[in-house]
Structure 1
Amino acid sequence: METAIPLGMFYDNVSILDLKSTSINNVYIHKDFDAFSVTMAVLYLAVCIVGLGGNSLVIITILKLDKMSSATTVYIFNLALADGLFMVGLPFIAIQNFQDQWIFGDLVCKLVLVLDGINQFTSVFCLTVMSVDRYMALVDPLRFARWRTPQRAKIIAALMWFISLFPVLPMAIYFSSNYGFCTIDPYLASDTWWLTFLSYTFVLGFALPFTVMIVFYTALVATLRNSRPQGGPSSSLESHSLEKQVTKMVVAVVLVFGFCWLPFYIFNFCSLHRTELVLNFTRGFEFVVLLSYSWSCANPILYACLSEKFRRHFHTLLCPVKSSPTHCDRDTEGYVLHDTNVQDVSVLL
């Protein structure tokens, strides 16, 4: 089946390319429901399942075994919660793209987009705050101890959720399903409005957080290198091992975040001025949207599974104590995650 779809721009995970009953600048493209469409639908489903499963496991682990006993796990909990809720909107977008129409009504359209945006910004804000928290935890834990209590972390997390509401409020006004798709209304939003909206969401959702993460992670790695102990070989080896693990984690965090979100914003900005680029890479938009969602699947791995202590927690949760010793390590019984030992790389995760 082939349908004509008008050219436009899209924000977050919804494309104006999907408007069916109207056109923008009288430019149309065609979309074929072929093997590519089926493959994308399967990939959307896979990302949704993996994202929900991974983040749910992190949430259950923290609530059951850790009980948010440290500032670090408070942030990880809120990160997993935002990423998990971010996955909830994915089936709606996948069904829209696959069926070439929005079937859930205007109210659900606005609700899905607003909640989707809140979870996206909260997730990014969590990562930004975690970069600062890691720096304070390792560079001068005694000096910043009063700022890294679970109580303060919960207050900061609540503020992040509240602040995330404001950047996406315009979506409740300018997005609708009036044209068969849940997307921006071209008769309400001008090109200037769209450029402004896209610019400030890019700054708040990518540029500023990405810069903060690079600055604090670079300072963290530099501090580790400059503070190597001058003691015996064992202490020097331990410090070098910690530095190596932290460096790997930092590189992974920065690369994954940039890889998943930068293409999304590049395509958005190109759609404003490069019509021929959008026409040639229409399917690329669908892949970039999927890539932005897959970022939430990577977070449980980057911020939990890379931690030895979280791996022990997962082992305890998935392998009950009553199981046979040949299948479960009894050393995990009663293990509680804490980040008071600054020489443990897990404090960074």
Structure 2
Amino acid sequence: MSAIEKNSLFILILSVLLLIVLVIGLTGNILVIYVVSNYGLLKTVTNIYLLHLALSDVIFLSGVPFFISSIITHSWLFGGFACKIFFLTQGVNQYTSIIILSLLSFDRYLAVCHTAKSIAWRSRFNPNILIISIWILSFFLMLPIISFTTLEETVESVVQCTITLPLSESRAPYFVFVAYTSSITFFIPLTFMIYFHIKIVHRLRNKVPKRHSRSRISMRTRRKVTILVLTVISVHLICCTPYWTFQMFATSELLPQTSSILIPMSSLTQFLLFVNSSTNPILYAFISEMFRASFKRAFYCCSTTNNNQILRDKDLDQISLNSIN
């Protein structure tokens, strides 16, 4: 098989996988937004964070068709305005999702390790107002980057949607840009999340619940919610680490710009970001009985009586302790 045939096969397989990821991701995340918005039993602080994470993922996944077009045609076909919108949606997702995950980690840390402080934190800071502030902050953080987003014509007369920085003859500005962005949207939040979850795991392993049945149920509920959050964060880190690692190498002197692996690796690491945005609803369905019951309720459109019965029969301890989660 020639290099051209191998490249065509790679593009075909990647495009098909991206379409599958798009369908699964949009369906799942829209379902999460629907059930959390409409079913009162799911309107907990943790799930409000997950709702906005799903909204961020929907926005991010909207870029999949543009990405597929770019890898098939090797060019940007949608004009300058769409180019800026594409980078805006991708960037806002990176900022918003990592801040939400950091807040989730902090919220779980307080709920498990400092219950009294957790109650004070939740009563003082409305999660919806907090997350709306995050959306606004993420948008403004992306504005300087959008100003450098432009269409660039290559020597082969191919139009590319890219970021062109001042002094772009040198690779140094791009390396500094990637180092700054990866630090803010990945490495620094990662450090805090690791710290919080080490503390959480240590606390859960060593704390013996009281004999009172409500205390045992409370601890069991906290464990379930913490496992869900920890799994979501772990998948995020697994999917995002290759992307940022590759970006650091690609903008440094360690990887020549003429390297044959540059475009395939760039496409694969970007693909993992899209995968990350489509997996969360699957994780909720596997780990949380409450989400699983709500998904069934949404899919099967049961009668009111049957709907309520589904939720009464699933995870009663989580329902009764709705206020802490």
Give the paired residue count. Answer: 315
Residue 28 of structure 2, aligned match among 54, 65, 68 = 54
Rounded Cα–Cα distance in structure 2 between residues aligned with 1:198 and 1:153: 30
Residue 307 of structure 1 pairs with residue 263 of structure 2: no
TM-score normalised by length of structure 1: 0.77
CA contact 1:264–1:292 (8 Å) conserved in 2: yes
Rounded Cα–Cα distance in structure 1 between residues aligned with 2:115 and 2:53: 22
Residue 114 of structure 1 pairs with residue 95 of structure 2: no
Rounded Cα–Cα distance in structure 2 between residues aligned with 1:38 and 1:222: 46
Residue 46 of structure 2, aligned match among 72, 78, 82 = 72
| Match of residue 226 from structure 1 | 206
Rounded Cα–Cα distance in structure 2 between residues aligned with 1:247 and 1:185: 42
| Match of residue 22 from structure 1 | none
For residues 309-342 of structure 1, give each alpha carbon's deviation from its aligned partner in whole angstroms, at most 9, with x where no partner exists.
Answer: 11121122122223997xx893337999977728
Residue 183 of structure 1 pairs with residue 162 of structure 2: yes
Residue 152 of structure 1 pairs with residue 131 of structure 2: no
| Secondary structure of 1:143 counterpart | helix
| Match of residue 15 from structure 1 | none
| Match of residue 137 from structure 1 | 111
Rounded Cα–Cα distance in structure 1 between residues aligned with 2:24 and 2:290: 22
CA 1:169–1:305 in structure 2 vs 1: closer, same or farther (change >3 Å)? farther
Letter in 2 for 1:267: F
Give 1:1-349 correspondences, 5 Å limit: 33-66=7-40, 69-149=43-123, 152-179=126-153, 180-185=159-164, 189=168, 190-229=170-209, 231=211, 245=224, 248-249=227-228, 252-271=231-250, 272-276=252-256, 279-282=259-262, 283-303=264-284, 305-322=286-303, 330-332=309-311, 341=321, 347=325
How far is 1:303 from its partner?
Answer: 4.7
Greater mean deviation of Cα atoms: 154-163 or 280-289:
280-289
CA contact 1:65–1:336 (8 Å) conserved in 2: no
CA 1:32–1:62 in structure 2 vs 1: closer, same or farther (change >3 Å)? same
CA 1:240–1:163 in structure 2 vs 1: closer, same or farther (change >3 Å)? closer
Letter in 2 for 1:96: S
Rounded Cα–Cα distance in structure 2 between residues aligned with 1:172 and 1:301: 33
- Gaps in structure 2 of 5+ consecutive residues: 154-158
| Secondary structure of 1:273 counterpart | coil
Rounded Cα–Cα distance in structure 1 between residues aligned with 2:223 and 2:43: 27
RMSD: 3.6
CA contact 2:56–2:96 (8 Å) conserved in 1: yes
Rounded Cα–Cα distance in structure 2 between residues aligned with 1:267 and 1:331: 46
CA contact 2:35–2:42 (8 Å) conserved in 1: no
How far is 1:140 from its partner?
Answer: 3.4
For residues 65-114 of structure 1, give each alpha carbon's deviation from its aligned partner in whole angstroms, at most 9, with x where no partner exists.
Answer: 13873322221111110011110111111111111111110111011111
For residues 124-158 of structure 1, give each alpha carbon's deviation from its aligned partner in whole angstroms, at most 9, with x where no partner exists.
Answer: 11111011111222333343224225971011101
TM-score normalised by length of structure 2: 0.83
CA 1:82–1:247 in structure 2 vs 1: closer, same or farther (change >3 Å)? closer
For residues 235-275 of structure 1, give each alpha carbon's deviation from its aligned partner in whole angstroms, at most 9, with x where no partner exists.
Answer: 99979966875675465344312210111111111112123
CA 1:62–1:255 in structure 2 vs 1: closer, same or farther (change >3 Å)? closer
Letter in 2 for 1:291: L
CA 1:201–1:304 in structure 2 vs 1: closer, same or farther (change >3 Å)? farther
For residues 32-82 of structure 1, give each alpha carbon's deviation from its aligned partner in whole angstroms, at most 9, with x where no partner exists.
Answer: 751111111111111111111110000011111138733222211111100
| Secondary structure of 1:321 counterpart | coil
Rounded Cα–Cα distance in structure 2 between residues aligned with 1:302 and 1:102: 34
Rounded Cα–Cα distance in structure 2 between residues aligned with 1:331 and 1:342: 16
- Gaps in structure 1 of 5+ consecutive residues: 3-28
Rounded Cα–Cα distance in structure 2 between residues aligned with 1:125 and 1:331: 34
Letter in 1 for 2:67: I
CA contact 2:108–2:226 (8 Å) conserved in 1: no
CA contact 1:135–1:220 (8 Å) conserved in 2: yes
CA contact 2:36–2:47 (8 Å) conserved in 1: yes
Q: Which one has the bigger helix percentage? A: 2
Rounded Cα–Cα distance in structure 2 between residues aligned with 1:30 and 1:331: 54
CA contact 2:112–2:222 (8 Å) conserved in 1: no
